[in-house]
């Protein structure tokens, strides 16, 4: 029914090899498969994209948002400083949920600030890969209300 963009920012292609205490042990492919399977159960399609480049993420949002209904995004470190990504998310006009594997509120000071969260209807942090399923359910409810 709905098309959901699942977007990952810098360094998240390294999941599975990164600090597992913060980020868990799942690879990006594991997470994409998990979200895709759960979305299919709910009748939705997922389009996944990861880039280490801010501009590539913005290009993707500009090119794909017109054919999508919602966004789940883990912007990685761009969360903390990318006003360009904030603007791109706002411009999509789509409901967006921000996900962080780690608890960004219990780590270094700079991680407590999300400049992208104001573009999002919810932020989920610290629930590892389960956070993505929660995000999917939030979008599912929101999109059902819009029908």
Residue 54: other Cβ atoms inside 10 A:
17
- Residue 100 known to be catalytic: yes
Nearer to ligand DQA by Cβ, of 11 and 45: the residue is 11
8 touches 99 (CB < 8 A): no
> Can you give the binding site for ligand DQA, defined by CB under 6 A?
11, 74, 76-77, 79, 100-102, 104, 111
Distance from the Cα of residue 1 to its chain's centroid:
19
Nearer to ligand DQA by Cβ, of 70 and 76: the residue is 76
Instruction: Map residue 90 onto helix, strand or coil.
Output: helix
CB of 136 to ligand DQA, least distance (A): 16
Q: Smallest Cα–Cα separation from 96: which of 125, 65, 126, 53?
A: 65
CB of 104 to ligand DQA, least distance (A): 5
Catalytic residues: 23, 100
């Amino acid at each position: 029914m709905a098309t959901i963009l699942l977007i990952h920012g810098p360094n998240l292609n390294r999941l599975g090899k990164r600090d597992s205490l913060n980020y868990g042990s799942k690879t990006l492919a594991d997470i994409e498969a998990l979200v895709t399977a759960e979305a299919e159960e709910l009748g939705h399609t997922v389009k996944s994209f990861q880039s280490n480049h801010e501009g590539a993420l913005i290009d993707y949002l500009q090119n794909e948002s017109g054919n999508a209904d919602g966004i789940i995004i883990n912007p990685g470190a761009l969360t903390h400083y990318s006003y360009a990504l904030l603007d791109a998310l706002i411009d999509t006009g789509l409901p967006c949920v921000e996900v962080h594997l780690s608890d960004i509120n219990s780590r270094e000071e700079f991680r407590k600030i999300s400049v992208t969260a104001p573009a999002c209807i919810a932020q989920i942090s610290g629930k590892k890969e389960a956070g993505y399923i929660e995000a999917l359910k939030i979008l599912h409810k929101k999109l059902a209300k819009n029908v």
